[in-house]
Amino acid sequence: MNRREAAGAPDSPPAAVRAVGIVKSFAGVQALRGVDLELAEGELHGLVGENGAGKSTLAKIISGAYAADEGTVYARGTELASGNPHAHADAGIAMVYQEPKLVPELTAAENVFLGKTIRRGPFVARREMARRLRDVAATVGIDVDPEAKAADLSLAKQRMLDVIRGLDSGAQVLIMDEPSAALGPVERGSLYRTIERLRSAHVTILFISHDLDEVFRLCDRITVMREGSIVATRPTADWTKNALVEAMLGREFVVPKRHRTDAPVEASPILRVEGLTVPGALERVDFELRSGEVLGIAGLIGSGRSTLLRALAGAEPKASGLLLLEGREIAWPSTVRAALRHGIAFAPEDRRRYGLVLGLSGASNVALTNPAAVSKALLLQGRKLVEYAAGVMTPLGFDSRRLKVEAAFLSGGNQQKLVVGRTLGRQPKILLLDEPTAGIDIGAKADMFTIIDRLASDGLSVLFASSELEEVVEVSDRILVLGRGRSLGLLEGESCTVRTILELAFGVEREADAA
Amino acid sequence: MSEPSLDVAPEGTRRWDALRAVRPGAAALRSYGIELVRTYGIVVAFAILVAAVASQNSVFVSRDNLLNISSQWAPAGVMAAGLTFVLIAGGIDLSIAANFNLCAVLAAAIGQHNDPGIAFLAALGLGTGIGLVNALIVTITGIDSFIATLGVSFALASISQILTGNVPYYVDREDFLSLGAGSWHTIPYAGMVMFGTFILLGIVLARGVYGQKIYAIGGNREASRLAGLRVQTLYGSTFVLTGFCCGLGGILSASQLGTAQYNIDPGILFDVVTMVVLGGTSLLGGYGAMWRTAIGWAFIASIGNAFNILNVNSSYQNLVKGLVLIGALAIDVYVRRLARAGKT
Tell which residue, A195, A194, A96, A202, has the closest CA to residue A141: A194
Residue B224: closest C-alpha in chain A: A357
Q: Are A343 and A237 contained in the same domain?
A: no
Same structural domain, A303 and A244: no
Residues 6+ apart with CB under 8 A from B266: none
Residues A223, A182, single domain; the answer is yes
Within-domain flag for B2 = no
What mean pLDDT do residues B146-168 have?
91
Residues 6+ apart with CB under 8 A from B234: B89, B210, B213, B214, B217
pLDDT band (50, 70, 90) for residue B282: confident
Q: Which residues contact B188 (CB under 8 A, 6 or more apart)?
A: B67, B68, B70, B71, B74, B181, B182
pLDDT score, position A49: 83
- Is there a single domain that holds both residue A77 and residue A159? yes
If pLDDT is split at 50, 70 and 90, which confidence band does A28 have?
low
Task: State percent of chain B over pLDDT 90.
Answer: 54
| A338 touches B at CB < 8 Å | no
pLDDT of res. A511: 47
Q: Taking CA atoms, what residue in A is nearest to B344?
A: A57
pLDDT at position A431 is 95
For B209, the closest of A57, A337, A371 (CB atoms) is A371
pLDDT digits (tens, 9 = 90+) for A353-367: 899 998 899 999 999
**Average of pLDDT values for A121-129?**
83
Q: Is A409 on the interface with B (CB under 8 A)?
A: yes
Q: What is the pLDDT of residues A209-226, one digit of tens each?
A: 877 888 989 999 999 998
Kindly state whether residues A63 and A162 are assigned to the same domain: yes
Separation of alpha carbons A59 and A46, rounded Å: 12
Distance (Å, rounded) from C-alpha B151 to C-alpha B157?
Answer: 10
Which tens digit of pLDDT belongs to each residue from B115-144?
Answer: 999 999 999 999 999 999 999 999 999 999
Q: Is B55 on the interface with A (CB under 8 A)?
A: no
DSSP assignments along A160-213, one per residue: HHHHHHHHHTT-SEEEEESTTTT--HHHHHHHHHHHHHHHHTT-EEEEE-S-HH
- Residue A43 belongs to a domain with what CATH number? 3.40.50.300
Residue A265's Cβ-count burial label (10 Å; 0-12, 13-18, 19+) is exposed
Assess if residue A10 is contained within a domain: no
Distance CA B139, CA B244 (A): 18
Query: Under an 8 A CB cutoff, do B12 and A27 touch?
Result: no
Are B207 and A400 an interchain contact pair (Cβ–Cβ within 8 Å)? no
Domain match, A207 and A305 both: no
Quote the minimal CA–CA distance from A53 to chain B in Å: 10
Identify the pLDDT of residue B76.
96
Among candidates A56, A340, A361 on the partner chain, residue whose Cβ is nearest the Cβ of B228:
A340
* B 232-251 residues with CB < 8 A to A: none
Distance CA A209, CA A231 (A): 16
Distance from CA of A122 to the nearest CA of B (A): 35
Q: In the predicted model, is pLDDT for residue A204 greater than 70?
A: yes
Query: What phi and psi values does residue A197 have, to the nearest 5 degrees?
Result: -65, -40
How many C-beta atoms surround the C-beta of residue B37 within 10 A? 18
DSSP state of A429: S
Structure confidence at residue A253 as a pLDDT band (50, 70, 90): low
CB contact under 8 A, A56 and B18: no
- Percentage of chain A exceeding pLDDT 70: 90
Identify which has the larger pLDDT, B313 or A230.
Answer: A230
Q: Over the stretch A43-78, which tens digit does the pLDDT of each residue have?
A: 999 998 876 688 888 999 999 888 899 999 999 988
Q: Amino acid letter at A395? A: P
CA B81 to CA B73: how far, in whole Å? Answer: 12
For residue A177, which of A149, A211, A130 has the smallest C-alpha distance?
A211
B18/A404 CB distance under 8 A: yes
* pLDDT tens per residue across span A307-342: 999 999 999 999 999 999 998 999 999 999 999 999
| The pLDDT of residue A246 | 79
Overall average pLDDT of the B70-88 stretch: 96
Number of domains in chain B: 1
Three-class DSSP category at A472: helix
Q: What percent of chain A has pLDDT over 90?
A: 34
* Centroid of chain to Cα B312: 27
Tens digits of per-residue pLDDT, B180-203? Answer: 888 888 899 999 999 999 999 999
Check A391 against B4: CB less than 8 A apart. Answer: yes
CB pairs under 8 A between A and B: 149
* Domain-embedded: residue A395: yes
What's the sign of the alpha-carbon dihedral A148, A150, A155, A159?
Answer: positive
Residues 24-83 of A with CB under 8 A from B: 25-29, 31, 52, 54, 56-57
Q: Does A29 contact B24 at a Cβ distance shorter than 8 Å?
A: yes
Q: Is the predicted pLDDT of residue A156 greater than 80, yes or no?
A: no
Domain endpoint, select from A180, A215, A249: A249
Nearest CA of chain B to the CA of A194: how many Å? 28
Contact residues on chain B for A399, CB-CB shorter than 8 A: 5, 22
| Contact (CB<8Å) A359/B208 | no
Contacts of B11 in chain A (CB under 8 A): 382-383, 386
* Least CB–CB distance from A378: residue in B25, B209, B229: B209
For position B341, what pLDDT does the model report? 56
What pLDDT, on a 0 to 100 scale, did the predictor assign at position B15? 39
Render A67-81 in DSSP notation, one character per residue. Answer: --SEEEEEETTEEPP
Averaged pLDDT for residues A111-124: 80
Range of the domain at A70: 17-249
Nearest Cα residue in chain B from A58: B344
Residue in chain B closest to A405 (alpha carbons) equals B19
- The CA–CA distances, whole Å, from B255 to B104, B171, B262, B268, B328 equal 8, 8, 16, 17, 34
In angstroms, how far is the first alpha carbon of chain B from the final one?
A: 35
Q: Do B216 and A27 touch (CB under 8 A)?
A: no
Q: Is residue B8 part of a domain?
A: no
Interchain contact B23–A (C-beta under 8 A): no
At A487, which helix (H) or strand (E)? strand A486-492
Q: Please report the sign of the dihedral spanned by the C-alpha atoms of residue B255, residue B256, residue B262, residue B263.
A: negative
pTM for this structure?
A: 0.75
| Beta strand segments in A7-88, E | 17-26, 29-39, 44-48, 70-75, 78-79
CATH number, domain containing residue B155: 1.10.3470
Q: Report the candidate in A289, A293, A243 with the shortest Cα–Cα distance to residue A270.
A: A289
Mean pLDDT of chain B: 86
- Kindly state whether residue A264 falls inside one of the protein's structural domains: no
Is B209 a residue whose pLDDT tops 60? yes
Tell me what pLDDT residue B18 has.
40
pLDDT band at residue B13 using 50, 70 and 90 as cut-offs: very low
Interface of B with A in 184-223 (CB under 8 A): 203, 207-210, 212-213, 215-216, 219-220, 222-223
B315 belongs to a structural domain: yes
pLDDT bin (cut points 50, 70, 90) of residue B9 is very low
| Separation of CA A373 from chain center | 33
* Centroid of chain to Cα A107: 25
Q: Three-state SS for B112?
A: coil
In tens, the pLDDT along A74-111 reads 999 889 988 888 888 888 898 887 767 788 888 888 88
- Asked if B307 contacts B316 with a C-beta cutoff of 8 angstroms, the reply is yes
Q: Which of B51, B42, B43, B83 is nearest to B331 (CA)?
A: B42
User: How many CB atoms sit inside 10 A of residue B47's CB?
Assistant: 11
- Pair A233, A278 in one domain: no
Measure the CA–CA gap between B234 and B222, rounded to whole angstroms. Answer: 13
DSSP string, B230-244: -HHHHHHHHHHHHHH
**Which of B29, B30, B207 lies closest to A380 in CB terms?**
B207
Q: Which region, left, alpha or beta, applies to residue A121 given φ > 0 means left and ψ of -120 to 50 means alpha? A: left
- Give the one of B7, B8, B22 whose C-beta lies nearest to A405's C-beta: B22
Nearest to B29 among A27, A340, A356 (CB): A27
Together in a domain, A280 and A417: yes
Q: Is B287 on the interface with A (CB under 8 A)?
A: yes
A262 in a structural domain: no
- Assess if residue A12 is contained within a domain: no
What residues of A are in contact with residue B4 (Cβ under 8 Å)?
386-387, 390-391, 394, 400
The more confident residue out of A341 and A142 is A341
Burial of B232 (0-12, 13-18, 19+ CB in 10 A): middle
pLDDT for position A338: 93
Contacts of A388 (CB under 8 A, 6+ apart): A363, A366, A367, A370, A373, A374, A425
What is the number of structural domains in chain A?
2
Give A249's contacts (C-beta < 8 A, 6+ positions apart). A50, A226, A442, A443
Does residue B7 form part of some domain? no
In a domain, A502, yes or no: yes
Angle, CA of A509, A157 and A504, to the nearest 5°: 20
CA gap A135, A462 in Å, rounded: 49
Residue A23's pLDDT band (boundaries 50, 70, 90)? very high
**The pLDDT value given to residue A447:** 85
- Specify the range with the lowest mean pLDDT, choosing from A136-150, A208-222, B143-157, B316-330: A136-150
Whether pLDDT at A157 is above 90: no
Domain assignment of residue B11, yes or no: no
Give yes or no: residues A275 and A245 share one domain: no
Residues A244 and A320 in one domain: no
Instruction: Specify if A60 maps to a domain.
Output: yes
Half-sphere exposure of A183 (CA within 13 A, CB side): 27
* Plot region of A393 (φ>0 → left; ψ -120 to 50 → alpha; else → beta): alpha
Q: Do B228 and A337 touch (CB under 8 A)?
A: yes
Cβ-Cβ contacts under 8 Å, A427 against chain B? none
If one compares B161 and A156, the residue with the highest pLDDT of the two is B161
Model confidence pLDDT, tens digit, residues A469-506: 888 888 898 999 998 888 999 998 878 887 788 778 76
Among A28, A391, A392, select the one facing B29 at the smallest CB separation.
A28
Mean pLDDT for the stretch of residues A21-25: 91
Residue numbers of the domain that contains B45: 18-342
CB contact under 8 A, A378 and B208: yes
pLDDT for A26 beyond 80: no
Examine the domain organization and report whether A149 and A280 are in the same domain.
no
- The reply to whether A53 falls in a domain is yes
What are the pLDDT digits (tens) for A435-477? 998 878 777 888 888 889 889 888 899 999 988 788 888 889 8
